Amino acid sequence: MKAEKMRGMDAAELQRQTQDAKEQLFRFRFQMGMGQLEGLKKYRNLKKDRARMLTVLQEKEANGETTPPPVAKHAAGKGKKK
């Protein structure tokens, strides 16, 4: 996918597609580890597309078009016994 096409999309759609690409890359890496994946070109193109998506999201964030994704907060000392 071209970066210009991605710039025309809204931030929520880009974030959803970025998450989908991340999950698909995980599956590809798992298949490569098992020796089942033969489409290395598809894997490389997906990595590049995801990088483009993240770049466009970062550009939109810098321009104030979107808010950054929420950061998970961890409770300090959770699960520790005293």
CATH number assigned to the domain comprising residue 56: 1.10.287
Q: Is the pTM of this model over 0.75?
A: no
For tokens 């300090």, the residue is 76
Structurally, how many domains does the chain consist of? 1
Nearest to 55 by CA among 43, 26, 63: 63
Q: Which two tokens stand for residue 44?
A: 């490389």
Q: How confident is the model at residue 75 (pLDDT cuts 50, 70, 90)?
A: low
Domain that holds residue 48: 3-62
The predicted model gives 19-26 an average pLDDT of 92
Identify the sign of the CA torsion 23, 24, 27, 29: negative
